[in-house]
Structure 1
Amino acid sequence: MPRLFLLQRTVTLLSLHRAMCSGVQLRVSPGRCLYDESLRLQVSGLSPGQHVTLRTELTDEGGELFSSLGRYQAGSSGELDLSQSPALEGGSFTGIEPEGPLWAMEPRDPLRRLLKKDVLCPFQLRFSLHQEPSGALLASAAQERGFMGEGVTRLPVRKGRVRGSLFLPPGPEPFPGVIEVQGTGGGLLDYKASLLASKGFATLALAYYNFEDLPKKMKDLRLEYFEEAVNYMLQHPKVKGPGIGLLGHSKGAELVLSMASFLKGITATAVVNGSIANVVSALHYKDITLLPVGYDSSKLTFPVPGIADIRDVYLNPLEEPNRQSLIPIGNADCKFLFIVGEDDRNWNSTFYAQAACKLLEEQGKEKPEVVYYAKAGHYIEPPYFPLCKASMNKAAGFPVIWGGEPKAHSVAQVDSWQKIQAFLHKCLNQQSTPSKL
């Protein structure tokens, strides 16, 4: 064992020495940035036509390694520029893909999803360039990708029953306010909220179960809790009124639809792959109860052994007796944006968005904006997060596939992130701001 260790250490040191002496330079810019910013990667000092492999690695907070490989051939001057140089066959992506090293990363554990739980600590990206076919290291570089822009502050919220994190942009003026609600994972995930604050929104990442003194299980949720969060934002001196925006994904999208349907003070609601039916647990508000929609387990399929496709298991909430779970979105008095991954395998988001349009039209409400993305799956995240192909579904209690193809899914993430910001800015900044006593 000692000899093997010494041999491995010697090989590593020799590779590093060759990289230092090769004259090859790998430049990644900027050195520090937000996670949703574009990537600039350039290489110089190669031989004309030289074949190389670019390896990108990220280790998440749980120790899981995510990585991608890009194969390239240097130009006539011995240079590479990912914005101009096409990736060759045999790697994780092909063609001209400046951000390919990011969105094409895959975990060692096929059921792992990339998450960020501590937004105060950036992710550390590692890039290494290797000679083909020997694998010798030619150059390396690193980059920090964070979640809080300069001057953004994070305030833990423990107001009444409300639990979460409030992110405030820098500056003395009030900002358009947004409440962001995540899916069935529970706890507090605030990476989207922190990124939104970096774009000029006062954003509350709202926990609703399995966090501190909140209920441990997602059971019999009460909308009064969410109403208290809305009132907290409306009364905050840093939040521009008279209304706020909502952003939700999956179960969170379903919850923001319920908030918009029953609560006052909502100006805009952005829904990412959401259901118009109440799912998993009952939702109560005053003397009203929305029961969870039923399901047909015979419609479960297993395209991969041990990993289910649950897209078609939920019953149609537009048909009796399932209408007792239907969210009455026709009662809402706000503008809507629906982001739809057409290959969402969690449920039929396309059907739900189309049904929402019909229900709003029947009530004489303004037609919502709906954006469809072909070959995009369920977990539409901020830009450059790698596609989560499958993971444990806490509501179902077993692993499921989420859908999507990596390249198309990445395009959807970049485009939808911009559309969500534009929608919220337009709706919330057009409001007349009342004076706050």
Structure 2
Amino acid sequence: MWRVTGPLCRASSRGRQRRLPWPSPARTREMASPCSLSSAAPSIRLSPAARSLFDEPLAIAVQGLGPRQPVTLRACLRDETGELFQACARYQAGHDGELDLARCPALPGGSFCGLEPMGLLWALQPQKPFWRLVKRDVQTPFVLELEVFDGHGDPPGRLLIQAQHERAFLRDGVHRVPVRNGRIRAMLFLPPGNGPFPGIIDLCGLGGGLLEYRACLLANYGFAVLSLAYYGYEDLPKQMKELHLEYFEEAINYMLQHTQVKGPGIGLLGISKGGELCISMASFLKGITATAVINGSVANVGAVLRYKDITIPPLGLSPERIKISKSGIADVVDALNNPLEGPDCQSFIPLEKAECRFLFIVGQDDHNWKSEFFAVEGSKRLQAHGKEKPEIVCYPGAGHYIEPPFFPMCEASTHLLVGKPVIWGGEPKAHCKAQIDAWQQIQGFFCKHLKGKPSGTSSKL
């Protein structure tokens, strides 16, 4: 992870989820199989035992194995459409027959190798090509199944033991409140306890609809978070042809007038197109104190943007610059035009008008667009107009979809505008570490500027 405040140098996913029975803590910690190799039946020890929040670490250990016994561990998870994600790793137990993933490195030949205590989660990959793991219903957990097999064969040997664990999104006491206020279509998450709480509006990317999982997880840390849909949801426009900032202004006013939201201003958080919209909101609308952008653009992309008598056209693109691999996957990183040249300058968002602080989270291997370039140019524009330097945190080896911790990296999936699979970039291990650190950076940024105090988190990269 690099923290910079000036110019940068580039460094060298149908049907409803099958709901498995909730295991008791005892059953989750220890589910013995008759095919164990020793008199002491193997057991899987998890901490937390039965359930944990998705963005929290999960400690995994296996006991009762033979001395130095080779085993293969496999993690399986089905999303709400029924699609399967899997990861596996090869290990060797210690002389005492115990295998602790926090102390034992994975051996070559699996989804990852080395000392990676959470590798079985971040290395999960879809069995269906070009599929991204997304949580649609935050009121139900993902069910993670862990299996231990004898040996390092391919396919693996006998099943020795298995366990289930729930990875939840909604912490006990957090209120999930549907919002149908005027034109606003959203979901508000309120922390437990007596407010008011620092308020944040969270915007997803180009896929549209209403994705609640990031807002839900963030609310677990004491923020009132509004997950705001802006097209492709209920009675909102079906397609993103034209966007009006008055809609987003209505959402800001809703938050500022809410009795459980602490003023005088709120925060904005967005990824990709959502991040770009956050920049536009901060540039034209009042009541915004802090804006965090994850791999966003400082130029308007994909649709006409309007506010009162102001119109910002979408940035032009050149389809001939899209590269198509032999497998049919597109690389679109060079497709957009330069917003600093010619008529495309009209698409540059006037972020120098903003009266808030900015945080740019940048994946330096983002293949959706040139996020690092956008962050640098945004910083230059702000400083040229006497504004504070934004915080820019860059992550070598991180791709476009920088999600909350332990979401597996999406290497490629279908792009709505391109109409075919595109590569998003990233290297799984580096991307995972970036997600952990970025989550802390985002919380710290909002704690500082909305709460007026440090978050208590620190960078781990």
2:209 pairs with 1:190: no
Q: What is aligned with 1:38?
A: 57
2:35 pairs with 1:18: yes
Q: Which runs of 5+ in 2 are unaligned?
A: 1-31, 454-461
Written as runs of structure 1 = structure 2, the 5 A alignment for 1:27-426 is 27-30=45-48, 31-132=50-151, 133=153, 135-426=157-448
TM-score by length of 2: 0.89
Deviation digits for residues 383-406 of structure 1 (CA, Å, limit 9, x no counterpart): 000010000111222210000000
Computed over aligned residues only, the root mean square deviation of the Cα atoms, in angstroms, reads 1.3
Shift of 1:16: 4.5
**How far apart, CA to CA, are the structure 1 residues paired with 2:444 and 2:421?**
35
Deviation digits for residues 289-336 of structure 1 (CA, Å, limit 9, x no counterpart): 010000111111123521100001100111121011110001101000
Deviation digits for residues 334-384 of structure 1 (CA, Å, limit 9, x no counterpart): 000000000000000010000000000011000000000001000000000
**How far apart, CA to CA, are the structure 1 residues paired with 2:372 and 2:393?**
10
**What SS does the aligned partner of 2:34 have?**
helix
**What SS does the aligned partner of 1:321 have?**
helix
Shift of 1:156: 0.4
Q: Is the 8 A contact 2:315 2:344 kept in 1?
A: yes
**What SS does the aligned partner of 1:148 have?**
coil
Structure 1 outlier segments of 4+, above 3 Å:
19-22
Structure number with higher helix proportion: 1
Residue identity opposite 2:61 in structure 1? Q
Residue identity opposite 2:402 in structure 1? I
**What SS does the aligned partner of 1:41 have?**
strand
**What SS does the aligned partner of 1:340 have?**
strand
**How far apart, CA to CA, are the structure 1 residues paired with 2:47 and 2:83?**
25
**How far apart, CA to CA, are the structure 2 residues paired with 1:215 and 1:39?**
40
Shift of 1:135: 1.2
Residue identity opposite 2:85 in structure 1? F
Q: Is the 8 A contact 1:22 1:138 kept in 2?
A: no
Q: Is the 8 A contact 2:301 2:314 kept in 1?
A: yes
TM-score by length of 1: 0.94
**What SS does the aligned partner of 1:66 have?**
strand
Q: Is the 8 A contact 1:28 1:142 kept in 2?
A: no
**What SS does the aligned partner of 1:224 have?**
helix
Q: Sequence identity, in percent?
A: 58
**How far apart, CA to CA, are the structure 2 residues paired with 1:283 and 1:100?**
41
Q: Is the 8 A contact 2:33 2:42 kept in 1?
A: no
Shift of 1:110: 2.1
**What SS does the aligned partner of 1:204 have?**
strand
Q: Is the 8 A contact 2:188 2:225 kept in 1?
A: yes
Shift of 1:417: 0.4
Deviation digits for residues 263-294 of structure 1 (CA, Å, limit 9, x no counterpart): 00000000000001100100000000010000
**How far apart, CA to CA, are the structure 1 residues paired with 2:114 and 2:52?**
25
**How far apart, CA to CA, are the structure 2 residues paired with 1:53 and 1:414?**
26
Residue identity opposite 1:178 in structure 2? I
**How far apart, CA to CA, are the structure 2 residues paired with 1:375 and 1:102?**
18
Deviation digits for residues 108-144 of structure 1 (CA, Å, limit 9, x no counterpart): 1120000000000000000000001461011111111
Shift of 1:168: 0.2
Deviation digits for residues 411-437 of structure 1 (CA, Å, limit 9, x no counterpart): 000000010001011100129xxxxxx
Q: What is aligned with 1:434?
A: none
Q: Which runs of 5+ in 1 are unaligned?
A: 1-14, 432-437
